[in-house]
Structure 1
Amino acid sequence: MGHGHHEPEGDALMRAAQAALEGAGEQWTVMRAGVFAALSGFAKPASAYDIAEAVSRAEGRRIAANSIYRILDLFVAANLAQRVESANAYVVNAHPGCRHDCIFLVCDACGKTTHVDDDRLTRDLRQTALTAGFQPERPVVEVRGRCAECAA
């Protein structure tokens, strides 16, 4: 199945994200810190527009969504955030120092998205792609349905 993680929160998560980004050779700027803080404040996947609005409120000035998209692309590449493809939205990676493929369970009723690790399943998925002559780069696995609360 999956593997265990210590998932930092708050300031510890911000420090882990900064370390991961700087470890990837990028700078941790005030704007990037603001975007990460805004993204980590959402309980559900957030769009670039949601994040732009949150950062704009915090900064007291309008921030364009295209600026947010560039930062989010960097965050995904550096493993600080993950993109929920079907929602065109993003979630913060609660363990930015660990690289592995993820599985998202997406509730169609409330939008809650749960991240699940299953290294065996994602390893098999990558191997299936390789066997078919396909080089997998970033598998995206999303299971749509209803969370336990909405199913009750």
Structure 2
Amino acid sequence: MVHAHVDHQGESLNLAAEAVMLNSGEQWTPMRAAVFEALAGFDRPASAYDVADAVSRAEGRRVAANSVYRILDLFVGVNLARRVESSNAYVANAHPECLHDCIFLVCDQCGDTTHIDDDNLSDAVRQAARKTGFAPERPVLEVRGRCASCQSSG
């Protein structure tokens, strides 16, 4: 299915996240908003501890990583965030209105992680799984290697 993505940033991303959360029947609480804003502020996948530290600094009080984990898991469930399985970290979904399987390119040298959408590739993975009698629910593909920047720097 080909469609145009709206890649949100800043306030537009926060508003899109709030709308997706409310449309899924969930509340958009101040803590959820703070966690999402902190996650969206990272330029790399962030752990729950990274997000908890960022929220703690912004709120001026300690926020427990366990609370952040629960919120991040909720975000993954409603498509506001993606989980990079191999590094147990999360990225904000810049187009939360679109549902795609996750395909991550993870640089082993600098840790940069790029999310790409390729419905043909993920459909092929789902189809291959079904041929074996397996019912795929949430394919996550991760390709490990070196990003263009690390390749050019030696």
Q: Normalising to structure 2: TM-score of the pair? A: 0.96
Cα separation, 2, equivalents of 1:4 and 1:151: 31
Deviations 1:91-145 (CA, angstroms, capped at 9, x unpaired): 0001001011121000011111001111001001001111110000100100000
Deviations 1:13-45 (CA, angstroms, capped at 9, x unpaired): 000000001111000000000000000000000
Counterpart in 2 of 1:24? Answer: 24
Which residue identity lines up with residue 116 of structure 1 in the other structure?
Answer: I
Question: Is residue 52–residue 64 contact of structure 1 (8 Å, CA) maintained in 2?
Answer: yes
**Where do residues 29-108 of structure 1 align in structure 2 (5 Å cutoff)?**
29-108=29-108
Q: In structure 2, do the counterparts of structure 1 residues 3 and 150 end up closer, same or farther at CA, with 3 Å as the change threshold? A: farther
Matched, 1:112 2:112: yes
Matched, 1:127 2:127: yes
Q: Secondary structure at the match of 1:143?
A: strand
Cα RMSD for the two superposed structures: 1.2
- Structure 1: which 5+ residue stretches go unaligned? none
Matched, 1:10 2:5: no
Q: Secondary structure at the match of 1:106?
A: strand
Deviations 1:36-83 (CA, angstroms, capped at 9, x unpaired): 000000000000000000000000000000000000010000000000
Post-superposition offset of 1:4 = 3.8
Cα separation, 2, equivalents of 1:35 and 1:42: 11
Q: In structure 2, do the counterparts of structure 1 residues 2 and 114 end up closer, same or farther at CA, with 3 Å as the change threshold? A: farther
Cα separation, 1, equivalents of 2:149 and 2:142: 19
Q: Normalising to structure 1: TM-score of the pair? A: 0.97
Among the aligned pairs, what percent are the same residue? 67
Cα separation, 2, equivalents of 1:97 and 1:106: 24
Point out 4+ residue stretches in structure 1 off by more than 2 angstroms: 1-4
- Structure 2: which 5+ residue stretches go unaligned? none
Q: When the two structures are aligned, how many residues end up with a matched partner? A: 152
